Structure 1
Amino acid sequence: MTAKAKTSSSIIETIKTVVYALLIAGVFRTLFFQPFWIPSGSMKETLLIGDFLFVNKMAYGYSYASCPSIRFPAIGVNIDAKKICGFLDGDNTRLIGSEPERGDVAVFRHPVNGSDFIKRLVGLPGDKIQMKNGVLFINGEPVKLQDAGEFEEVMERQGPQGSMPRCENAPVGQGAICKKSRQIETLPGGTEHVVLNITNQGVDHTRVYHVPEGHYFFMGDNRDNSSDSRLPQTAGGVGFVPYENLIGRADRIMFSSAGRSMLYFWTWRGDRFFKGIQ
């Protein structure tokens, strides 16, 4: 075999290896686990900006939303999951489906723009959900709340987007301590988790939401800094989330970095590695 033929054969084998690797990774990501970086503070303190986790796609079964969207804006690639798995869309059902449970922290596709969101499931099909003076009511009953001190963080830019935290003790200068009221919320069924409060605002006082069949109601744990089911899709919220839009359940944080890049090892949060999500 000539040197030219050997070089050509080597290139072909390399291409095959890359293609096979991409196919295996695609199947793994579609069927089992999807990586997810936390980009915003809407789920503090349960999830912090810079937490990295794998979403368990086997928890709820599969729908068109289980297929990953392929987006590389820099080179003009934008392939939505519906273009890949659109044959599964439209009937609000799932393959090998199982129902999510109240209190689950789940990733889902926004019903309109297709972006991936992560929030806590608080309302099941048929539930009546309302916020009164910052307290969550489910089917006419307030959830149990227990004061749990304050959540503190440094007033500084967070994550790759460089967002600044909102503070209950505002105004807060750069480098000072930003505080939020902290409570333990207990949902029907016994799930306990931390919720944070910053101020009194419109989403603390809502109408009664009647969750339709086949849909779910999600909220962020950082209650005053979350765009969720309390706001309609036309106002920047997510509204009711269809069953088929669920992607999977978040069970465990694998890695966490407080810096602008995961390469800044001095910003790694070692105490959050492999931490279970409650």
Structure 2
Amino acid sequence: MNFPLVLLTLLVFTGGVWLLDYLVLRHKRVSGDIEPWWVEYPKSFFPIILIVFCLRSFLVEPFKIPSGSMIPTLLVGDFILVNKYTYGIRLPVANLKIIEMNEPKRGEVMVFRFPEDPSIDYIKRIVGVPGDTVAYRNKQLSINNVPIRLEPNGDYKYIEDGLVYVYTQRFKEYMDESAYDILINEDMPNIQLIAVRDFPNRENCTFDQTGFSCTVPPGNYFTLGDNRDGSSDSRYWGFVPEENIVGKAFLIWWNFSDLSRIGTVIK
């Protein structure tokens, strides 16, 4: 369901009834007449819908994490808040940027419309901005031929598909001004070559058994999941166009399974 479109439709309908009543209907009612229900209810809901629409469209929008691709930073079931104006003010539904703000930076966690199906929202970490050459070979990430610093940070255990425990290695990765944990499973292949699709600007990339190297084209970004061997990301389906950006994830506001995660700042 396209919730922003549904919200916009409700806003137009209730606002239209409110405006019709203000300009026409109220002048035709005689003193003591009761407002018909089809006028009363839309008018009552209009201010609430207007506030929710403005908050979700221009300030913050809530999302729920559905998969484990961003473990350990984000867990399945985390409810997060996304800053809608950090990367520029955009028109609702159309997602067309009308006011320039900040450019996305390496290391930030970004929500965006999935390039293969814009009706789906994805969340990944930005590792490459326009002009960067991103390489990931033998589990080592490099940007513009400079290896990104990794430090072992213990083992990590999590449940996959609600059935089995997965044991893997956790590392601290340092990128520009950001530091965050990632997971690397040394028993997994460097890249699943069979899963690499034919995406726009694929000629900017080279793939082999050791990994890949991609040069990010203008107006695009390269993303990876923090669960490096359990994520479908830019190495498989390509670059994220600027017009697909939704916003920057910044806070976990709820998790039914782990209340201690409430209020966690997303790094």
Name the TM-score, length of structure 1 as normaliser.
0.72
1:96 Cα deviation (Å)? Answer: 2.5
1:228 Cα deviation (Å)? Answer: 0.7
Residues 127 and 138, structure 1, Cα contact 8 Å, conserved in 2: yes
Which of 185, 193, 203 aligns to 2:191? It is: 203
What amino acid maps onto 2:214 in structure 1?
A: Y
Q: Distance in 1 between matches of 2:146 and 2:158?
A: 33
1:28 counterpart residue number: 55
| Cα distance change, pair 273–95 in 1 and its aligned pair in 2 (3 A) | same
What amino acid maps onto 2:114 in structure 1?
A: H
Instruction: Give SS of 1:271's match.
Output: helix
1:77 counterpart residue number: none
Name the TM-score, length of structure 2 as normaliser.
0.75
Unaligned runs of 5+ in 1: 68-80, 158-163, 165-171, 232-236, 259-268
Q: Which is higher, the Rg of structure 1 or of structure 2? A: 2
Within-5 A mapping of 1:87-236 = 88=96, 95-114=99-118, 115-154=120-159, 157=162, 172=164, 177-187=165-175, 189-198=176-185, 199-203=187-191, 205-231=210-236
Question: What is the aligned-residue RMSD (CA, Å)?
Answer: 2.3
Instruction: Give SS of 1:18's match.
Output: helix
Residues 125 and 215, structure 1, Cα contact 8 Å, conserved in 2: yes
Instruction: Give SS of 1:44's match.
Output: coil
Q: Distance in 2 between matches of 1:155 and 1:103?
A: 25
Q: Distance in 1 between matches of 2:116 and 2:90?
A: 16
1:277 Cα deviation (Å)? Answer: 0.8
Residues 147 and 183, structure 1, Cα contact 8 Å, conserved in 2: yes
1:50 Cα deviation (Å)? Answer: 0.6
Deviations 1:150-208 (CA, angstroms, capped at 9, x unpaired) = 11234662xxxxxx5xxxxxxx5xxxx43121111111x23111111233224283231
Task: Percent identity, please.
Answer: 37
1:46 Cα deviation (Å)? Answer: 0.2
1:58 counterpart residue number: 85
2:240 counterpart residue number: 241
Residues 63 and 245, structure 1, Cα contact 8 Å, conserved in 2: no
Residues 83 and 247, structure 2, Cα contact 8 Å, conserved in 1: yes
Unaligned runs of 5+ in 2: 1-28, 193-209
Q: Distance in 2 between matches of 1:185 and 1:131?
A: 13
* Number of matched pairs: 219
Instruction: Give SS of 2:221's match.
Output: strand
Deviations 1:58-113 (CA, angstroms, capped at 9, x unpaired) = 1111235xx2xxxxxxxxxxxxx34xx5xx3xxxx652332111110010112231
Residues 88 and 98, structure 2, Cα contact 8 Å, conserved in 1: yes
Residues 106 and 118, structure 1, Cα contact 8 Å, conserved in 2: yes
Which of 272, 275, 278 aligns to 2:261? It is: 272
Q: Distance in 2 between matches of 1:200 and 1:94?
A: 43
Q: Distance in 2 between matches of 1:9 and 1:207?
A: 65
Q: Distance in 2 between matches of 1:257 and 1:125?
A: 38
1:214 Cα deviation (Å)? Answer: 1.5
